[in-house]
Amino acid sequence: MVKIKQLSIFLTNQKGRLYNVLNILAENNINIRALSLTDTSEFGILRLIVDNPDKGEQILEANNYTLKTTQAIAVELEDVPGGLVSILKILNDNEINLNILYAFTQDYSDKAILFLSIPNLDFLIKILKENSISLVASNVIYNL
């Protein structure tokens, strides 16, 4: 399975809110694999990929956090100048507008991992496969 469960947590932009969420996850042995934080002056959206998304979701809801679960996919790309551009060109050529994009590098290979999301993930998967882009299975991401 290539679809990855992503937790999107709504946070008011106040001192300690990010710490509190991450501390709750740490106290419950939930390991973060990737994160993205976007904010405005009043609120932020924390997007997390964690090793156990179902448990993470349950714990955060039990602690009264407003969250939404969505799906994303992960692709491997060359960790070189222009590696990201090569993926974006495919998306641009196919008129795909991304909702979410964030990336990280890791030590186990010379590849970077890019998380992507659009409303129609099946279409995105199809286009990437047609262009020989390597998709990363969800279990690989959860177990990094």
pLDDT score of 107: 67
Mean pLDDT, range 18-39, rounded to an integer: 94
| DSSP 8-state assignment for residue 2 | -
The alpha-carbon radius of gyration of the chain (Å, integer) is 16
Question: pLDDT per residue over 69-110, tens digit each?
Answer: 999 999 998 888 888 999 999 999 999 999 999 888 776 667
Helix (H, G, I), strand (E, B) or coil at 8: strand
pLDDT score of 127: 97
Burial of 38: CB neighbours in 10 Å, binned 0-12, 13-18, 19+: exposed
- Distance between CA atoms of residues 112 and 70, nearest Å: 22
| DSSP 8-state assignment for residue 95 | T
